[in-house]
Amino acid sequence: MRWFCERSRSQAKWLDCSHFRLRPLVVPRLARHQNKISAPRPVRSCLALAWIFIPRQRAGFGKQLQIAEYLVKVLITGADGFIGSHLTEALVKNGHDVRAFVLYNSFNSWGWLDHAPKSVRKNLDVFAGDIRDPNGVRTAMKDCDAVLHLAALIAIPYSYHSPDTYIDTNVKGTLNVLQAARDLGVKRVIHTSTSEVYGTARFVPITEEHPLQGQSPYSASKIGADQLAYSFFASFNLPVVIARPFNTYGPRQSARAVIPTIITQVANGQRQIKLGAVSPTRDFNFVKDTVAGFIAALEGDGGLGEVINFGSNFEISIGDTVKLIAEVMSKEIEIVTDEARLRPENSEVERLWADNSKAKQLLDWQPTYGGREGFKRGLTETADWFLNPANLAAYKADRYNI
Ligand SMILES: NC(=O)c1ccc[n+]([C@@H]2O[C@H](COP(=O)([O-])OP(=O)(O)OC[C@H]3O[C@@H](n4cnc5c(N)ncnc54)[C@H](O)[C@@H]3O)[C@@H](O)[C@H]2O)c1
């Protein structure tokens, strides 16, 4: 039985590669139930016949077998967070067998995963732990074929007063993930970087060759984590891809980030919006695009040992973003500078604008919410979510969240 499953899984991926597009139907089901056949009998018979009669070399079978193997069980760290919860949902909906690593707490809260549809939650294998604990990380990773590592402390202002925790969580936590992945023979590790590691752009658009500048303890800790991830590829051949998303926004994002800060204040009825600097520019990405990037990095066979930018290639200032949000929410608003929200001068990243050609070239990834029009669409979806009183209730719009 096991023999048939293994072969069928590989075969299904192979059929996908031959443009039969059976993978979404077949691979996940077979993958989830490693020792149980859950595909209908006619599908199983077709797969068995295809396995016997179609010459394997013609479709590059050996290469696809590798990809199918690591799709079986996936661990996601930071699954309870903003991007992680969307990614977890997308992977479960695609039929992956997902173990969600959530930050342990005595409330038994799974963060945003508590708000995921029932159909997703019931298919989740949840592990509550702490990324700083090597034994917990190793236990969570047992039997997993791939790891998507998103757990991190990510707020820049919080990193100003508690940098120690950033080293423990982002650097030591990443080391724990890499060490466990190496020891357990994990077949693909997607490590999450950030565009903050570039600091203020020295040239635009920013390619992966741009120098790294740790302008905040957060950025410095991510540079350390990225370099550790690369070192495990270079030193031990650990199959690592370093995904580097630019600013991501969308439903569920913490109000420590600028777009939810603006939207929650507007949704709360405020017309004078408190903000820090409005001149810096950013390359914003709707969360669905970022999630698609992670999935491309997980399922593609390219990108090992590479850093890959996931950005929209559209640059806009914070000030113009405010105007766009006012437009999509049909409100007249005024910006008021709040000194407490300004970053120290040399720490402010003045300009971020992604060159995303490497993601296209290696993973066939492109943003679907790109350009001004795409940004407007993403902002509309985001604002609609925040305007739901049940969602808005989770935010303290009258306070500065760091
Ligand atoms: N949001 C963005 O704009 C953006 C941009 C680039 C990169 N990233 C990266 O994406 C990843 C996810 O960010 P996000 O925006 O979803 O933020 P988030 O704060 O919503 O998610 C971070 C997750 O890490 C978890 N975590 C923190 N400390 C932990 C610990 N000690 N043990 C276990 N889990 C712990 C949190 O519970 C949370 O689920 C991070 O690695 C971040 O650096 C985010």
Ligand 1 atom with minimal separation from the 153 CA: 27
70 vs 21 pLDDT, higher one: 70
105, part of any domain? yes
Identify which of 76, 83, 218 to mutate to test ligand 1's pocket (most ligand atoms within 8 A of the CB): 83
Q: Looking at the structure, do residues 42 and 79 belong to the same domain, yes or no?
A: no
Alpha-helical (H) ranges within 94-216 are 118-121, 134-141, 156-161, 163-166, 173-184
Mean pLDDT of 341-351: 95
Ligand 1 atom with minimal separation from the 131 CA: 32
Ligand 1 atom with minimal separation from the 169 CA: 31
- Among positive and negative, which fits the CA dihedral 389, 390, 391, 393? positive
Q: How many domains does the chain have?
A: 2
Q: What torsion do the CA atoms of 5, 7, 13, 16 make, to the nearest 10 degrees?
A: -110
Q: Is the CB of residue 363 less than 8 Å from the CB of residue 300? A: yes
Q: Specify the pLDDT at position 48.
A: 53
Ligand 1 atom with minimal separation from the 218 CA: 43
Domain containing residue 146: 73-250+286-315+349-370
Give 402's pLDDT tier (boundaries 50, 70, 90): confident
Q: Looking at the structure, do residues 50 and 85 belong to the same domain, yes or no?
A: no
Residue 17 has pLDDT above 80, yes or no: no
401, part of any domain? no
pLDDT tens column, 373-392: 999 999 999 999 999 999 99
Report the range of poorest mean pLDDT among 55-69, 90-104, 177-191, 237-251: 55-69
12 vs 38 pLDDT, higher one: 38
Mean pLDDT of 146-170: 97
Strand stretches in 213-279, DSSP E:
240-245, 248-249, 272-275
Of the chain, the percentage scoring pLDDT greater than 90 comes to 78
239 vs 24 pLDDT, higher one: 239
Residue 209 has pLDDT above 60, yes or no: yes
Pick the closest to residue 163 from 239, 238, 97, 217 (CA basis): 217
Q: Does ligand 1 have an atom closer than 6 angstroms to the CB of 84? A: yes
Distance 264 CA to ligand 1 centre (A): 20
Q: Looking at the structure, do residues 146 and 218 belong to the same domain, yes or no?
A: yes
223, part of any domain? yes
Residue 31 has pLDDT above 60, yes or no: no
Q: Is the CB of residue 42 less than 8 Å from the CB of residue 50? A: no
pLDDT tens column, 182-194: 999 999 999 999 9
60, part of any domain? yes
The position carrying tokens 């690591």 is: 70
Mean pLDDT of 106-122: 96
Q: Is the CB of residue 197 less than 8 Å from the CB of residue 212? A: yes
Tokens of 296: 């491309």
Pick the closest to residue 373 from 306, 322, 328, 326 (CA basis): 328
Q: Looking at the structure, do residues 310 and 197 belong to the same domain, yes or no?
A: yes
Q: Hey, which residues does 335 pair with through a beta bridge?
A: 273
Q: Is the CB of residue 283 less than 8 Å from the CB of residue 314? A: yes
Nearest CA to ligand 1 atom 27: 152
Distance 152 CA to ligand 1 centre (A): 4
Q: Looking at the structure, do residues 25 and 93 belong to the same domain, yes or no?
A: no
Give 49's pLDDT tier (boundaries 50, 70, 90): low
Nearest CA to ligand 1 atom 5: 247
Q: Specify the pLDDT at position 78.
A: 98
The pTM of this model reads 0.86
Q: How far apart are the C-alpha atoms of 305 and 307, rounded to whole Å?
A: 7
255, part of any domain? no
172, part of any domain? yes
Q: Looking at the structure, do residues 117 and 243 belong to the same domain, yes or no?
A: yes
281, part of any domain? no
In CATH, what number is assigned to the domain containing residue 224?
3.40.50.720
Read off φ and ψ for residue 126, nearest 5 degrees.
-100, 130
Pick the closest to residue 275 from 246, 315, 318, 330 (CA basis): 318
Q: Looking at the structure, do residues 24 and 79 belong to the same domain, yes or no?
A: no
Q: Looking at the structure, do residues 145 and 179 belong to the same domain, yes or no?
A: yes
Distance 53 CA to ligand 1 centre (A): 47
Identify which of 88, 148, 150 to mutate to test ligand 1's pocket (most ligand atoms within 8 A of the CB): 150
